[in-house]
Homo-oligomer: A and B are copies of this chain.
Amino acid sequence: MSSPDVLNPIPLPNTVAAYWLSQLREKTPLIHCLTNQVVQNFTANVLLAIGASPAMVVAKQEAAEFSAIAGGLLVNVGTLNDIQIESMTLAVSAANVAGVPWVLDPVAVGGLAYRTDFCRDLLNLKPAAIRGNASEIMALAGFSSSGRGVDSADDSRAALPAAIRLAQRSGAVVAVTGEVDYVTDGKTCYALPFGDVLMTRVVGTGCALSAVVAAFIASGDENRLEQVATACMVMAICGGAAAMVSNGPGSFTPLFLDGLYNLQPQQLIGKTL
């Protein structure tokens, strides 16, 4: 049973977000990304813009060696195949041994048995955080959902009970993202209402957010719940600001990357929640 508190999401204090952004900027964490073929370039550019350092080291001969020296690891199953399963498993195991936090992005989990089974196996390997849309989080938590590929047919608010249960069972901080993002450790829940629907018309904004989550939790282990919420807030605020001045999804991308690059921690403090 969940406490009443976790079902009443609260805003993230702006000073908290500003603090974790300044920490990321100072530490420039190295993020090992084992992600899907479609979004690798955009993910790398988002990490570089926010102030982290991306690296995609994919071979089974190198993945474990590299994860152990990275600040954080991302595992995204969007274009999963047998070769990736081997590398991901090695990388996650090495990350766990080395104390490197890792993030699971369970793209399109639910409908497809192959990736769903793999992601359920990964849950036993203690992800520090999980980031998905409503359908993915519901499926991973064992709730019924209605996802269609990478789209979510469910509302993020409706997935909150699933997110809470998934956090409680896995020990991970869980972010379920949509019009409003919810981030919970199973006891507390933050609501981040800053995004824009235009972000759903640019491929990889969710996948890149998962990489940014890895960058924030790599910045220190004091408070992962706050760090994951900050990742969601920063991406959504920059996305909302870019959407406001763009003419569509094409002009959105350069504006979004510029915004991430230029964002100063103190600007977050000025922002009214």
A interface residues (Cβ-Cβ under 8 A, vs B): 30, 36-42, 44-45, 48-49, 53-62, 65-66, 69, 78-83, 108, 111-115, 148-151, 200-204, 246-251, 253-262
Contact = CB atoms under 8 A, between A and B. Distances in A.
Contacts of A113: 61, 65
Contact of A78 (B56, B81, B203, B247): B56
A59 B36 contact: no
A45 B114 CA distance: 26
A82 to B, nearest CB: 7
A203 B45 contact: yes
A38 B48 CA distance: 13
10 contacts: A38-B56, A49-B250, A54-B203, A55-B108, A59-B114, A59-B115, A62-B112, A201-B261, A247-B262, A250-B259
A86 to B, nearest CB: 10
Contacts of A203: 41, 44-45, 48, 54
Given A48-B202, A59-B80, A62-B112, A53 B248 contact: no
